[in-house]
Amino acid sequence: MKNILRIAAVFLVFLFLLPSAVSSTHSEKPVIRFGVNLQYNPISMYKRYQPLMDYLTQNTPYRFELKISRDYLECLRYLKYNTTQISFLGDIAFVEARLRFGAIPILKPLGEDGRPAYRSAIVVSSSSSLHSLQDLKGKKVAFGNLHSTSGNLFPRYMLLNKRVYLQELGGFTNFSNHDEVAKAVLRGDYDAGAVNDTTADKYSASGLRVLAYSDPIPTSPIVVRSDAPKALTKAVTDALLKLDRNNPTHEKLMASWDDSLKNGFTTASLSDYRLISRMFKTIPYSCGKGCHR
């Protein structure tokens, strides 16, 4: 009996010390700060992104720490001044980071359909009499954040391509996020709104109808600084590319990650964002001169 108690005591001490030993092992790794822009409340951000940090820490020679910025400009500053060494940026934020300080895209998340792309959608109420983009002349339109690719940049180009100019609208407003745009249209405050396709699907049962979709947009990239060590880039790339959502173990592992990251990854290149870069450089003719400053 004494031997059993002695073995049990040793086992309990081992269990108590194990987390400390693991933590000690991780603390000896070089620290890499991973930047993300505040999209939800801080608690939700931690729940959605910390599991990714844990995975990268366990599967690379580095210890990853989450660094949440208050807005997209702060996220860019963190990366520019080496407060963060790697970041998950929106398409437009990446283009600006590339133009300002040479940030490099390394990976693109896959969507639910397995492709690294999504679309912008201009939506109206299901009961709306509007059936084409030309019908929006004289109507009030809700856009997403000024720095949103699918909520602002692409939909304005969609209108421009159909010769629907901003001054011909009955009015327009930029909202903070896609949910706010959808709700404004559902309330009847606006005749139409610009959101991403995920948000359009989300609110279709509530009474939204898609008036028009954009061409495919590459998913937002994970980027590194131009001086990032090759070993870091390779470690992150290898760790994330080996994930396969068709593998039940990997699917379970990614289940708690943010929706934009839970379907796996593919490699990214500068050419993927050439169109967005071209749009960005002609901002005075699309979303207002100086709106990205």
The DSSP code sequence of 93-159 is HHHHHHHHH--EEEEEE--TTSSSEE-EEEEEETT----SGGGGTTSEEEE--TT-IIIIIHHHHHH
Last residue within a domain, chosen from 215, 231, 264 = 215
Six-digit token pair at 222? Answer: 């994970």
At 6 the pLDDT is 52
Decide if 292 is inside a domain: no
Closest CA to 109 of 220, 22, 2: 220
Residue 228 DSSP one-character state: -
Residues 14 and 46 in one domain: yes
Residue 216 DSSP one-character state: P
Residues 61 and 201 in one domain: no
Residues 126 and 248 in one domain: no
Decide if 291 is inside a domain: no
Decide if 142 is inside a domain: yes
Residues 107 and 133 in one domain: no
Residues 63 and 198 in one domain: no
Residues 227 and 85 in one domain: yes
Instruction: Report phi then psi at 260, rounded to 5.
Output: -75, -10
Residues 164 and 209 in one domain: yes
Last residue within a domain, chosen from 198, 215, 232 = 215
Six-digit token pair at 187? Answer: 């309330």
Residues 45 and 80 in one domain: yes
Residues 170 and 30 in one domain: no
Decide if 293 is inside a domain: no
Q: Are 35 and 88 in contact (CB under 8 A)?
A: yes
Q: Between β-strands 140-143 and 192-196, what pairing exists: parallel, antiparallel or unpaired?
A: parallel
Last residue within a domain, chosen from 215, 241, 257 = 215
At 21 the pLDDT is 41
Residues in the chain, overall count: 293
Decide if 283 is inside a domain: no
Q: pLDDT 10s per residue in the chain (293 long)?
A: 445 445 444 433 343 444 444 444 556 899 999 999 887 788 989 999 999 999 999 999 999 999 999 888 899 999 999 999 999 998 888 999 999 999 999 999 999 889 999 999 999 999 999 999 999 999 999 999 888 899 999 999 999 999 999 999 999 999 988 999 999 999 999 999 999 998 999 999 999 999 999 999 999 999 999 999 999 999 999 999 999 999 999 999 999 999 899 999 999 999 999 989 888 877 544 444 444 44
Decide if 58 is inside a domain: yes
Residues 149 and 179 in one domain: yes
Decide if 83 is inside a domain: yes
Q: How many domains does the chain have?
A: 2
Question: How far from the centroid of its chain's Cα atoms is residue 258's Cα?
Answer: 9
d(CA 39, CA 199): 14
Domain range for 34 is 2-114+219-277
Residues 86 and 103 in one domain: yes
Model-level pTM? 0.78
Decide if 285 is inside a domain: no
d(CA 47, CA 20): 22
**Domain containing 60 — which CATH number?**
3.40.190.10
Residues 163 and 254 in one domain: no
Six-digit token pair at 281? Answer: 């450089």
Six-digit token pair at 55? Answer: 């995975």
